[in-house]
Homo-oligomer: A and B are copies of this chain.
């Protein structure tokens, strides 16, 4: 069996974390670097990621997350916040980054920048917001498999009150919205769900070959 698949089979949505175990600085950096290196449409990375260790804040967030213990018991909570809107600035900042990273004159990128702007800037706000959220989920997929590769447990969660998160994390002023959160750490020995068989659609149902 391929080790990538072994890792995917090993992982599960951890329901109970061992609150005594912490992710090392080195491993946390690897997880964050996996998020940072995630592909996104045009490379624009239209999201921000908040990494929360502070227990007091996590207690408050737990109250806005159906009281789920993973929020506080895990080693860290990682919050993906997508841009609720954006303007030409998002693209201009990207172009400046391209220019500096690849040592290309900004002038030579203008045509490409105009193309991106023509595709993105006039989208209605609800489409902008769902597009940025999708990019955040792509990065989430990467985080989850990176964690599995390090045998770090994770629980991705959508069950929370985004407006409370946004308020507590000061996201509204930054035009950000909490899209999805993930608790990361180490499974508790007594978490029975680790022993459950994984439930997935059969390949016959999930795939069509043409």
Using a CB–CB cutoff of 8 Å, the interface residues on chain A facing chain B are 2-5, 8-9, 11, 13, 30, 32-39, 41, 43, 45, 48-54, 57, 94, 97-98, 101-102, 126, 130, 133-135, 137-142, 144-146, 149-150, 156, 158, 169, 179-180, 196-201, 203, 206-210
Which B residue sits closest to A50, measured CB to CB? B208
Contact A43 B200 (CB under 8 A): yes
The listed residue (B11, B130, B144) touching A133 by CB distance below 8 A is: B130
**Nearest B residue to A147 by beta-carbon distance?**
B4
What is the CA–CA distance of A156 and B142 in the complex, to the nearest angstrom? 14
User: Chain B residues with Cβ under 8 A from A37's Cβ?
Assistant: 5, 8-9, 198, 200
Q: List 18 A-B contacts (CB under 8 A).
A: A2-B149, A3-B149, A4-B145, A5-B34, A8-B38, A32-B207, A33-B203, A36-B203, A36-B206, A37-B198, A41-B158, A45-B200, A126-B126, A134-B179, A138-B138, A141-B142, A142-B142, A145-B145
| Cβ–Cβ contact B51 & A210, under 8 A | yes
Whether A199 lies near B38 (C-beta < 8 A) is no
A146 touches B4 (CB 8 A): yes
Main secondary structure of the interface of A (DSSP, over half): helix
Q: Among A32, A51, A145, A203, which residue has the most Cβ atoms of chain B within 10 A? A: A145
Q: In angstroms, how far is the closest chain B Cβ from the Cβ of A103?
A: 9
Question: Closest Cβ of chain B: how far from A113's Cβ, in Å?
Answer: 13
A9 contacts which chain B residues (CB < 8 A)? 37
Residues of B within 8 A of A49 (CB): 206-208
